[in-house]
Amino acid sequence: MASSQGSLTIADKVIEKTASQILKDMPGVGGTKSGLFGFGASSDLDTRPSVDVTLSGRSATLSVQLGLAYPTPITEATETIRRHLSSELEAHTGVTVRQVDVEVMWLKPNASGSSRGVRRLL
Amino acid sequence: MRRMAAGANRTGLIIIGLLCLLAGLAALAISFGLAESVIPGLSSDKDLKPVAEVVGLQFSALIAIVAAVILAVIAVRWLAAQVPRKDSAKPLRMQQDARTGITTVTANVIAAAVADDLEATPEVVDAQVILRGTARAPELMVHVDVDERADIDAVVADISNRVTRNCSQALGSRLSAVGLELGIARTHQRKQRSVQL
């Protein structure tokens, strides 16, 4: 945004954090805490999802890694996320969102009973 | 729940059996003198010198080495095929319109969620899940260990109703197949220390 009054530059990291916060505010969407060298890593609905932005001019492509409440319909949920994130990010930053790639990293039941089992993946 | 190489083994055994059968028939034909009409001079009392001469040629050793290497490769591949494999589904792509972005979820993520869900079933001690197939035709393979005093019918009913329904709902498509294997856990691996009312 350049004019005789000055210019406004938004770093990609700002867009990433804004997008991440928009996602965190959505119900049933969570992220993963990386922890220290992988120790203490945890996934829950209170953590901000991870977002990576690729800028091209005034448009952006987002890669999102998130978790969803189970058994949310994944396709519908991610379409809603895509629409909401695009519109909110455009409203907040003025950057046009071209594509939002979503990778679902985990699914957690709403009523968590995960501490009761000795589950292992085959 | 893991897949074995039974089909490949049967095919290999059929091929080896046919080769042995052909070799046996050829040996019989030579010993009874029947091969002489096909290959003149090939009789049971014939001198083996012509055969020995072929083996004694310079390139015979090279041919033997190449044959040995080919056999070794086949043997190693056969051994590798004996390792039981999960055959999990490839990462599922679940977007409605790829132009606005793609949605990816791995089979392990779904399997872990189903296993968590299974543990919400009373009396289920341990759960292992494999998701196979595709996003449109998913197949669920489930192994659960239940308490030895569990009501098996109730566990099966809960899995076939609630657990599979939740999985279908998450995937957005009907499960094309569900495999259920039940085991009895005779040792209690954990003890509940509190109860939430």
Question: pLDDT tens digit string along A102-114?
Answer: 999 999 876 443 3
- The helix-helix angle for A74-93 and A12-24 (nearest 10°) equals 130
Nearest of B110, B118, B128 to residue B158 by alpha carbon? B118
Is residue B1 situated within a structural domain? no
Is residue B87 situated within a structural domain? no
| Straight-line distance from the first to the last Cα atom of chain A, in angstroms, rounded to the nearest whole number | 53
Based on the domain organization, do B116 and B66 belong to the same domain? no
Write down the pLDDT at residue A20: 94
- For residue B110, list chain A residues with Cβ-Cβ distance below 8 A: 107
CA distance B164 to chain A (A): 10
ipTM over 0.85: no
Based on the domain organization, do B96 and B177 belong to the same domain? yes
Interface of B with A in 150-179 (CB under 8 A): 165-167, 169-172
Is residue B70 situated within a structural domain? yes
Question: pLDDT tens digit string along A49-62?
Answer: 999 999 998 999 99
Question: pLDDT tens digit string along B129-180?
Answer: 999 988 889 999 999 999 888 888 999 999 988 999 999 999 999 999 999 9
Does the beta-carbon distance from B115 to A111 stay under 8 Å? no
Q: How many domains does chain B have?
A: 2
- For residue A116, list chain B residues with Cβ-Cβ distance below 8 A: 119-120, 190, 192
The 3-state secondary structure of B58-115, one letter per residue:
CCHHHHHHHHHHHHHHHHHHHHHHCCCECCCCCCEECCCCHHHCCEEECHHHHHHHHH
Least confident of A33-42, A73-82, B109-118, B149-158: A33-42
Write down the pLDDT at residue A110: 63
- Of B56, B81, B106, the last residue of a domain is B81
* Domain covering A10-33+40-106 in this structure, CATH number: 3.30.70.1350
Q: Confirm or reject contact between B105 and chain A (CB < 8 A).
A: yes
- For residue A99, list chain B residues with Cβ-Cβ distance below 8 A: 99-101
Question: pLDDT tens digit string along B20-29?
Answer: 999 999 888 8
Question: pLDDT tens digit string along B23-79?
Answer: 999 888 888 878 777 777 677 777 766 667 777 787 888 888 999 999 999 889 888
- Spatial neighbors of A86 by CB under 8 A, at least 6 apart, are A97, A100, B100
CA distance B71 to B51: 23
Write down the pLDDT at residue A48: 92
Cα torsion B182, A122, A41, B170: sign: negative
Based on the domain organization, do B158 and B118 belong to the same domain? yes
Name the residue range of residue B107's domain.
92-185
- Spatial neighbors of B191 by CB under 8 A, at least 6 apart, are none
Based on the domain organization, do B96 and B179 belong to the same domain? yes
Q: Is A14 exposed, middle or buried (0-12, 13-18, 19+ CB in 10 A)?
A: middle
Nearest Cα residue in chain A from B130: A122
Does the beta-carbon distance from A117 to B110 stay under 8 Å? no
CA distance A108 to A29: 10
Q: Which of B81-90, B102-111, B121-130 is modeled with the greatest confidence? A: B102-111
